[in-house]
Amino acid sequence: MSFSAPSVVLITGIMASGKSTVAQALAERLPKSVHLRGDVFRRMIVNGRIDMTPGLEDEAFEQLRLRYRLAATAASLYAAAGFTVVYQDVIIGPVLEEVAKQLRQGCPLYVVVLCPSPDVVALREKSRDKKGYGAWTPAELDQGLREATPRIGLWLDTSDLSVEETVDAILQRTNEARV
């Protein structure tokens, strides 16, 4: 099975869980698709950006919500033009339902949560150029993902899966991902 077009496929998980790689590979397998990287909206802020850190400053959380709204708007516009949008970002905790509600406007929504073990995430983090951890550890973010994030969509433990196996699993289980 595959995703109905147009639609939005949200791929989320903690940093270094494989979101970017899986989203790109999935988008490459779809006939008319877009890979929307949510982090691009954070990087666009030249001055005044406040990154998320433990303690969740109000301004940092508001900037995070702005990033999600901008990405949802872009996803909606691409979907309205007939594309299947594979949108990837770190969206964990109760805000996942808020973002899902924004994304459900006007087209089908599928949510995929990548949740490899914290040990696998730590190994992946060591082997990549981009470093996302510092304020939190993979174990702390994983705990937040598993304990505070609503159980919507398809949750995949990708600890032992290759990128291609992960994409195959997503395509085979689209019904479970639909929200």
Note the pLDDT tens digit of each residue in 140-167: 889 989 999 999 999 999 999 999 999 9
Those residues with Cβ within 8 angstroms of residue 167's Cβ, 6 or more apart along the chain or in another chain: 22, 25, 26, 29
Average pLDDT, the chain: 91
Least confident of 34-48, 84-98, 125-139: 125-139
- For 11, 70, 167, the CA distances from 54, given in Å and listed in that order, are 23, 24, 32
Q: Is residue 92 part of a domain?
A: yes
Q: Which domain holds residue 55?
A: 7-177
Overall average pLDDT of the 90-112 stretch: 94
CATH number of the domain at 103, please. 3.40.50.300
If we measure between CA atoms, which residue out of 44, 108, 100 comes closest to residue 80? Answer: 108
Residue given tokens 């990033």 in the structure block: 67
| Alpha helices for the chain (secondary structure H) | 19-29, 39-43, 58-80, 95-103, 118-126, 138-148, 163-172, 174-177
Overall average pLDDT of the 10-32 stretch: 96
Q: Are 13 and 132 in contact (CB under 8 A)?
A: no
Q: Is residue 140 part of a domain?
A: yes
Q: Given a cut of 80, is residue 130 above it in pLDDT?
A: no
Note the pLDDT tens digit of each residue in 24-56: 999 999 999 999 999 998 888 888 777 776 666
pTM of the model: 0.92
- Count of the separate structural domains present in the chain: 1
Helix 58-80 vs helix 95-103: crossing angle, to nearest 10: 30
Q: Is residue 1 part of a domain?
A: no
Please report the pLDDT score of residue 115 as a whole number: 97
